[in-house]
Structure formats: C-alpha cells, structure tokens
Amino acid sequence: MDLTEEHILEFISRETKEVLKSVKVKEDPRIEEKIWSYVYEAKDRST
C-alpha cells in the first residue's frame, strides 16, 4: 500500500488531535499552538 503525503499528513493531524485530547491542553494553550505549528511546518516542508 502506497502512502501519499496527503495520507501521511491526514494521519498526522488525526493523531495530533488525539494527542491534544489526551494532553491537558487547557493547562497551557501554548502547547497546542506549538504542536500545530510543527504539523504545519512539516506540511510546508513536504510540498
């Protein structure tokens, strides 16, 4: 099975959402911002 970048990015963002749910983001909203910035950074690098 070939994984396209799109599949990988979709997986990453889905996983990120799961992680954010389990992490107590409410304690520090900057954690969420930082995680998403990594996700978007990776997305930018892959295009």
| Percent of the chain clearing pLDDT 70 (strictly above) | 81
pLDDT tens readout for residues 27-46: 677 877 887 888 788 877 76
pTM of the model: 0.37
Look over the chain and give the mean of its residue pLDDT values, rounded to a whole number: 76
pLDDT above 80 (res 10): yes
Predicted confidence band at 47 (pLDDT cuts at 50, 70, 90)?
low
Alpha-carbon span 45 to 42, nearest angstrom: 5
Q: Give the chain's count of helices (H) and strands (E).
A: 2, 0
